[in-house]
Structure 1
Amino acid sequence: MAKPRDEKLTIPEVIEEIGVPLSTFYRWRQLRKGPQAIKLPNGSVRIRRSELDRWMETLEESA
């Protein structure tokens, strides 16, 4: 069975899911405290579903 591709989320999809303002998300990125992102050649940014899930788990551990 083929392994499903890791979904690539847009920033609006991520902030909707985690429930933070866009400015907060960008501040986290600037401080390197957010999930690791992929910058595409056209300048847009995507976040892998697996990376978002991993990042959220690290937050649970430190809570």
Structure 2
Amino acid sequence: MARVEKLTIAEICEDLGIARSTFYDWRAKGRAPRCIKLPNGDLRIRRTDYDRWLTSLEDAA
């Protein structure tokens, strides 16, 4: 079974050049990519969801 790459919030913020607080603000407003909440409370974003989210921003621009 293929393993799906999951990104951390830090990796997303670094890639986008934004602060962690900005990501959480977007998430609260429903503007961030879909997240997976792990049992320990950490968040992860599937690479495919992140790529899809970025593509949707291109279409809206």
TM-score bin, normalised by smaller chain: over 0.9
TM-score by length of 1: 0.90
Provide the residue aligned with 2:13 in structure 1: 15
Q: Which runs of 4+ in 1 moved over 2 A?
A: none
Provide the residue aligned with 1:32 in structure 2: 30
Task: State the shift of 1:6 in Å.
Answer: 1.6
Q: State which structure, 1 or 2, has the greater radius of gyration over its C-alpha atoms.
A: 1
Aligned length: 61
Question: Percent of aligned pairs with the same residue?
Answer: 52
Task: State the shift of 1:52 in Å.
Answer: 0.4
Cα distance in structure 1, aligned partners of 2:17 and 2:4: 22
Give RMSD over aligned pairs. 1.0
| Partner-residue secondary structure (3-state), 1:35 | coil
What code does the residue aligned with 2:34 have? Q
Cα distance in structure 2, aligned partners of 1:48 and 1:56: 12
Structure 2, unaligned stretches of length 5 or more? none
| Partner-residue secondary structure (3-state), 1:47 | strand
TM-score by length of 2: 0.92
Q: Of residues 36, 49, 53 in structure 2, which corresponds to 1:55?
A: 53
